[in-house]
Structure 1
Amino acid sequence: MAFKRARHNNCSVIGCRDEHRSLFLVPSSKPQKNQWIDFIFFGNAPTQIPKALHVCGKHFTDDCFLNLGQHRAGLAKRLKLKSGSVPTLFGSTDITHPRQASTSNACFQLPLSRDVACQTDHLETHTVGTQLCLKTLQPKIKSEGVQATFSCKDFGVGMSNADPLCLSSTPLKRPPKRPRLDLDELLEDNPLEGSSLVEASRGHASTYDPADSIPASLYSSLQSKDSSTPTHNSKKYIVYENCIMDLFNLCPVCTRACEVRTQTLGTFLSVKQLCPHCTFSRQWNSQPILGSMPAGNLNLSVAIYLSGASFIQIKKVFNTMKLQLFRYKTFRRHARAFIEPAVIHHWKVTQDVNLQRLSQEKKVILGGDMRADSPGYSAKYGSYTMMDLNTNTIVDIQLVQQSSEVGGSCHMEKEGLTRSLALLESRGVNLDCIVTDRHPQVQKFLRERKITHYYDVWHIAKGLSKKLEEISKQKDCEILKRWMKSINNHIYWTAASSTSERERIAKWNSILNHVRDVHTHEDPLYTMCEHAIRKTTDKSKWLQADSQVFNKLEKLLTNKRMLKDVAKLSPHHQTSSLESFHSVILRFAPKNVVFTFIGMLCRLYLAAMHYNENADRPQAETEEGVPRFKMYFPKGRKGECIAKPEKTQLTFGYVADMMDLIFEEVFVNPTPYTESLLAIHVPEDLSAQYEKPDKDKLIASFMSRFKRGAV
């Protein structure tokens, strides 16, 4: 140990060199510029003292510095010692490059190991030549790409030789092992040398493809780190490839050109950087890895499915922007393994809550209606929806496949209603009445079951309006167009103001007197019109009792079937909310897209969850509290504009709940959720009843009608 005196020049405080053969500052008072202070050298003292001496900050405690917090936050480049500070820490340290030590603020008392920034092994001796200024060994011209502070944690690199404390403040944690893997396709831009495929482990599904695997050389470096924010809730950005490559073209240690190789896996990008000059290397991954699957690939599949979007349309958008995307087979694997089990589980949980609530109510009024996936008698699927009309909530959906289960689309509505009522009865729901349309099979079924059945007013008014319009187009019947709107309003008023079947019929028949300017009636249940009697100046609008148009109107309004239907008009609740729900289904399951049975069922469940969450949204208001309206041109009004209340913004809480369910539970252990999915009865495809011919023979027999020979 030697003692030297040197002049203090406000030098920076950087890392220790050569295993404690560095110099230590022994200040007796606060040093000033050009002031002589004492140093103690451990080992051989240098013959010449440089102007700038570096003091090791590792041997001082945290309370010895004036700006330690600012330095750790990146706001200060140099540490400042307090007056009277003495080095008291003498633990073993690693050999740290000056530049590396000046930029790392979390390297106090590190274990002895070789840093990736060091180009040589440890030196047994130490010379004064290693105590140069911080910028002496750097080139005069420095690339702009390396001017930023180098931080392993910020770049997310995985260096095999680096100290783990410099990578992250939290320990690495491998996700729990899952029963099977579901990996994406491998698309290699520049294959990594020596990479091999992960061997198929036990318990793989039948759809497992060894080619759709992560290389074994990358697997150890692709494990995700623990974070306070879940991977699916983290922010994502669109990053261009040339911007990423700018970060890896130059070595952060020697600032020279590096060899860069990339490897892609759907939306996942892995970059391997290797410096041939200083042997620096690192592995950077664009996404965390969940088990053996890039988190972004699964996250995108979940987002597409839960939002009701089409993968084919998303693929077109990605191809237009040159964004990397996985294949449709990968999307389907994600759906079968994780998404569809989670959707069915979440729907069953919410459905159990609704059914438990209904079982405790004494008066339950339900509305039912069927929706086919295509118009006419060619529908493949029919979905029957049961709604609680008191709370405007979907409580059950039954999906029926026509040919395989009921033999035709005309029988699907009755089958769906039968299944829904069986479920409600098994859960102890006491049904008071049900409101549906006038389907003949449904009428007979409910009549035999002795269930109170009401008809929806809109369905009757819709059919009546079409017949009135046909009559108004006939000769000498044009005057009926002036009464079509009044007759349509009269049927709604009849349903809402009556309490019995006879009263409904009496009020309905009063319209025949009203159109003749007669406002007193013979029926004792309804003897006089409730509107004020006033004289009219336009007598041409009244119909004559012996006219052709009146006879046709009377025949239409008083026929046996019409009076029977009017008697069963629903007094208070209608199925208009069910029609609104059917329009929501179009967002998740369009009629021009073919889905599998489970895929169709899951999309119906998603539509139901979306509707239940947003059905009773309040009306939006301005900042002054004034209710907001918007202009609306309904198709039935034929160009007439009306004001419609504007609702508040839609919410998607069910999507967030299922995101958490998929990534935190289903992905970790999909077995119990998959078992619930497999328990659902899936009817065989429509083509299963036919024998599949040989494809080669079928192609050989193909002949276009335009290329046939002469007959």
Structure 2
Amino acid sequence: MAKVRAKHANCSVVGCTDEHRTLFRVPASEKTREQWVRFIFSGNPPETASKNLLVCANHFKPECFRNLGQYKAGFASKLFVNEGAIPTERGKAADEGNMAVSQMAVQMTCNRISSNWMRASTSVRFADAACQTDPPITCSWMKTHTPPFRSTGVPVSCTDVGVDSSAVRASGPSRKRPRMDLEEEEEEEKLFKGGSEDPHDVTHDPLHSLTSTQSTDVTTEPSIPIHKMSKYIVYENCLLELFEACPRCRRASRPKTRTMGTFLRVEQNCPHCDFSRTWNSQPIIGSVPAGNLQLTAAVYTSGASFLTLEKIFQAMNLQLCKYTTFRRLARRFIEPAIVYRWRTMQDATLEQLISHRQNVMLAGDMRTDSPGHSARYGSYTVMDLRNKKIIDLQLVQSNEVAGSCHMEMEGLKRSLALLEERGVTLNSIVTDRRPQIQRFLKETRIKHYHDVWRLEKRLSKKLVLISKNKDCAILKKWIHSIKHHMYWTAASSASGPERVAKWTSILNHIRDVHVHEDPAFPRCLHAPRTSRDKSKWLKAGTEAFIKVEKALTNKRILKDVEKMSPHHQTSSLEAFHSSILRFAPKTAVFPFLGMLCRLYLAAMHFNENAGRPQATSSTGELLYRLNLPKSKKGEFSMKPVKVDPTYDYVDELMDLIFGKVFEDPGPYEAEVQKIPIPDDLSAQFEKPDKMEVIASYVSRFNQGLV
């Protein structure tokens, strides 16, 4: 309900003589309008009442206004009444009584707020640069936005304007104070290491050094969680306009600001009267500004880079906490929450697998970081092939094993040991063709299958090289058919000998022979047909056929064909490995625990969006997109378009961090401490003396003249 700003309008209430006060137009809704009209005319409304009836603010109780605190403090230019509010007060006496009760309640609240930091702060006299008889200079904002109710007692606490606001009497007049930025390193020492202050004590204020153990900051209880409140970008000069004038005496005052990362505190002390107050730009949770904590959590859980964010903030001149603060908050609150959340989700997934008993089919593969044979990390992933969800992640550092090439075996052993400990019985597992993995799974008597795509990819490269020879160019016509034949062989066979028989039948098929000697597959299944192009068939004894036969019937190839997976492949697992790049790119370097947490985040994101349905158009038609990969050299395929991914796991992590972990991080840190973190790679070498290294440094560019 908007306020009516009319210079010469009067209140329509019978007997009210107040003029130029805050006026409200009678609402248009019939039920509320009838009650307002009855009040205006003392219960005897006329048959037809004018539409321009006005009621001043004196006729409403304080609880009828939703921004009364802001209006009294000078932060609001208009009063707003709640929906459905009804005027009930008549005369100034009743209004003054209500206001007196409100002032008394405010005074009692202010008396409970400690002002030790204000008393300890130094006060310097401020003088206007004008004659003493001249009126004080006030800002234009206060000239045009003068609140109708002037405080006559203790200054009103602006609890609905800022999260932490207090109005106390200053110890004396003050002079202009320079702006001062706090060093975050020192403040973080106070938060997490220094002194007897508890960093999780809500009475501890990191912005001021205290000599008392009493509370100095009062964080009001919000109606919604702090991390779900809306945030805005506010320019400094626009914000400080609100503090240019004292809301009590309307004279000029010069505020002092203090910052810590994204946090801003404004301290206003009027040099002409005893009015003083502080305003915080964001809540203080315990002893940590909520903005610093939430920004750290948002950057970490979204997989973003702090260094990239820092460049963006510097380009916009936005205030940001330091990297040491980011790492400290992440190490103490964010990473324990991620580990706890992943363990909870993993336990629920394993419970479902236990109920399947003998029907668990898994896929396993390793991703190295950084790429190459000198990788530092190897993350082994195990996926449930039935619901395409990640059930386990094992991070192995190269110094934990004999070398980078042994990390995959170690990761597989750890995952299988975890599944055995939890009571999960495997039916089969699909992996790559690494000989170490094959020997290990053969010893453990777990049914082992090979991924068809990996075998087909390696064999296709050989056939492409063969087709580049002058006498083997005819093979180019058959490469595509041979690849499809491999997938058909894996999907249509029920046993290993049958797969081998169907696979070797391709050697007869490419010679236009469709009856085979192997009883497991005696003849081709396609209908008899007569070819129009006789030149496409290969002939026995030619160089092209001899090389193709050697490539397709290699001893190792036949062993791998016998173990090709008939049901599921590891394509979904490769898709997950691609999604890890968003959370842990290979161009960045992470500590062991940081890398592990980013892998957990990638798994949570993938599991949440693994079963996304296909998107549809406005008319209900399924959507597809044309895919033209470079590797297929002009061949295209159609892929379904999925609906947009969701990020519910981020909201759950935010609720966990702000609701539980920050209040008591001990149990969550204990879970992190159970993770065996290996020593850094450089720990096995003796660190040389820095000065000796500098003294022995020689560059080929600083040689003397010859």
Query: Do they superpose with TM above 0.5?
Result: yes
The answer to whether residue 402 in structure 2 is matched with residue 402 in structure 1 is: no
For residues 611-650 of structure 1, what are the alpha-carbon distances to aligned partners after superposition, in whole Å with 9 as ceiling and x for unaligned?
0000110000112110011222223312333221000011
Q: Spell out the pairing of 1:305-384 with structure 2 (5 A cutoff).
A: 305-362=300-357, 363-384=359-380
What residue is the counterpart of 1:486 in the other structure?
A: 481
The answer to whether residue 693 in structure 2 is matched with residue 698 in structure 1 is: yes
Secondary structure of the residue aligned to 2:243 is coil
What residue is the counterpart of 1:527 in the other structure?
A: 522
The answer to whether residue 565 in structure 2 is matched with residue 570 in structure 1 is: yes
2:443 corresponds, among 403, 426, 448, to: 448
Counterparts in 2 of 1:81 and 1:617: CA distance versus 1, 3 Å:
closer
For 2:555 and 2:139, the matched residues in 1 are separated by 95
What residue is the counterpart of 2:252 in the other structure?
A: 257
Query: Mind listing any 5+ residue stretches in structure 2 that lack a counterpart?
Result: 1-13, 23-38, 45-55, 69-77, 112-134, 166-177, 200-204
RMSD: 3.9
Q: Retained in 1: the 8 A contact 2:262–2:291?
A: yes
Secondary structure of the residue aligned to 2:561 is helix
Secondary structure of the residue aligned to 2:102 is coil
Counterparts in 2 of 1:71 and 1:217: CA distance versus 1, 3 Å:
closer
1:583 alignment partner AA: S
Secondary structure of the residue aligned to 1:246 is helix
Q: Retained in 2: the 8 A contact 1:171–1:225?
A: yes
What residue is the counterpart of 2:10 in the other structure?
A: none
The answer to whether residue 285 in structure 2 is matched with residue 290 in structure 1 is: yes
The answer to whether residue 207 in structure 2 is matched with residue 214 in structure 1 is: yes
What residue is the counterpart of 2:195 in the other structure?
A: 201
Secondary structure of the residue aligned to 2:638 is strand
Give, in angstroms, the shift of residue 70 of structure 1: 9.8
Counterparts in 2 of 1:161 and 1:332: CA distance versus 1, 3 Å:
farther
Give, in angstroms, the shift of residue 523 of structure 1: 1.7
For 2:519 and 2:432, the matched residues in 1 are separated by 30
Counterparts in 2 of 1:261 and 1:386: CA distance versus 1, 3 Å:
same
- 254-263 or 359-368, larger mean C-alpha shift: 254-263
- 516-525 or 574-583, larger mean C-alpha shift: 516-525
For residues 129-178 of structure 1, what are the alpha-carbon distances to aligned partners after superposition, in whole Å with 9 as ceiling and x for unaligned?
xxxxxxxxx999972356447699xxxxxxx95355x63599999xxxxx
What residue is the counterpart of 2:29 in the other structure?
A: none
What residue is the counterpart of 1:3 in the other structure?
A: none
1:423 corresponds, among 409, 418, 424, to: 418
What residue is the counterpart of 2:584 in the other structure?
A: 589
Q: TM-score, with normalisation over the residues of structure 2?
A: 0.78
Q: Retained in 1: the 8 A contact 2:263–2:289?
A: yes
Secondary structure of the residue aligned to 1:382 is strand
Corresponding pairs, count: 603
Secondary structure of the residue aligned to 2:242 is coil
What residue is the counterpart of 2:72 in the other structure?
A: none
Give, in angstroms, the shift of residue 709 of structure 1: 6.1
Q: Retained in 2: the 8 A contact 1:631–1:642?
A: yes
1:201 alignment partner AA: G
For 1:674 and 1:347, the matched residues in 2 are separated by 14
For 1:595 and 1:76, the matched residues in 2 are separated by 54
2:362 alignment partner AA: L
Q: Retained in 2: the 8 A contact 1:369–1:436?
A: yes
Q: Retained in 2: the 8 A contact 1:369–1:385?
A: yes
What residue is the counterpart of 2:512 in the other structure?
A: 517
Q: Spell out the pairing of 1:76-225 with structure 2 (5 A cutoff).
A: 94=100, 107=102, 110=105, 143-144=140-141, 147-148=144-145, 161-163=154-156, 167-168=159-160, 189-190=179-180, 200-202=194-196, 213-216=206-209, 222-225=217-220
The structure with the largest alpha-carbon Rg is 1
What residue is the counterpart of 2:261 in the other structure?
A: 266
For 2:96 and 2:275, the matched residues in 1 are separated by 29
| Structure richer in helix, relative to its length | 2
Q: Retained in 2: the 8 A contact 1:632–1:642?
A: yes
For 1:660 and 1:146, the matched residues in 2 are separated by 44
- 68-77 or 470-479, larger mean C-alpha shift: 68-77
What residue is the counterpart of 2:125 in the other structure?
A: none
Secondary structure of the residue aligned to 1:296 is helix
What residue is the counterpart of 1:631 in the other structure?
A: 626
For 1:622 and 1:605, the matched residues in 2 are separated by 34
2:702 alignment partner AA: K
What residue is the counterpart of 1:11 in the other structure?
A: 18
Secondary structure of the residue aligned to 2:256 is strand
Q: Retained in 1: the 8 A contact 2:499–2:562?
A: yes
Q: Retained in 2: the 8 A contact 1:222–1:285?
A: no
Counterparts in 2 of 1:670 and 1:638: CA distance versus 1, 3 Å:
same
Give, in angstroms, the shift of residue 542 of structure 1: 1.2
The answer to whether residue 594 in structure 2 is matched with residue 599 in structure 1 is: yes
Q: Retained in 1: the 8 A contact 2:268–2:277?
A: yes
What residue is the counterpart of 1:74 in the other structure?
A: 79
Counterparts in 2 of 1:495 and 1:281: CA distance versus 1, 3 Å:
same
Counterparts in 2 of 1:282 and 1:407: CA distance versus 1, 3 Å:
same
Q: Spell out the pairing of 1:528-567 with structure 2 (5 A cutoff).
A: 528-567=523-562
Secondary structure of the residue aligned to 2:356 is coil
Secondary structure of the residue aligned to 1:107 is helix
For 1:231 and 1:71, the matched residues in 2 are separated by 20
For 2:550 and 2:276, the matched residues in 1 are separated by 91
2:374 alignment partner AA: S
Counterparts in 2 of 1:148 and 1:478: CA distance versus 1, 3 Å:
farther
1:214 alignment partner AA: L
What residue is the counterpart of 1:130 in the other structure?
A: none
Counterparts in 2 of 1:517 and 1:76: CA distance versus 1, 3 Å:
closer
For 2:384 and 2:148, the matched residues in 1 are separated by 58
- 360-369 or 217-226, larger mean C-alpha shift: 217-226
Secondary structure of the residue aligned to 1:251 is coil
Q: Retained in 2: the 8 A contact 1:146–1:252?
A: no
1:661 corresponds, among 635, 645, 656, to: 656
For 1:235 and 1:170, the matched residues in 2 are separated by 14
Q: Retained in 2: the 8 A contact 1:251–1:257?
A: yes
Q: Spell out the pairing of 1:437-476 with structure 2 (5 A cutoff).
A: 437-476=432-471
Counterparts in 2 of 1:636 and 1:114: CA distance versus 1, 3 Å:
closer
Counterparts in 2 of 1:441 and 1:146: CA distance versus 1, 3 Å:
farther
1:299 corresponds, among 285, 294, 303, to: 294
2:388 alignment partner AA: N
1:385 corresponds, among 381, 389, 392, to: 381
For 1:448 and 1:325, the matched residues in 2 are separated by 55
Q: Retained in 1: the 8 A contact 2:163–2:279?
A: no
- 356-365 or 344-353, larger mean C-alpha shift: 356-365
For 1:151 and 1:659, the matched residues in 2 are separated by 42
Query: Mind listing any 5+ residue stretches in structure 1 that lack a counterpart?
Result: 1-6, 16-26, 33-54, 95-105, 117-137, 153-159, 174-187, 206-211
Give, in angstroms, the shift of residue 85 of structure 1: 7.2
Counterparts in 2 of 1:151 and 1:641: CA distance versus 1, 3 Å:
farther
Q: Retained in 1: the 8 A contact 2:376–2:398?
A: yes
Give, in angstroms, the shift of residue 520 of structure 1: 2.0
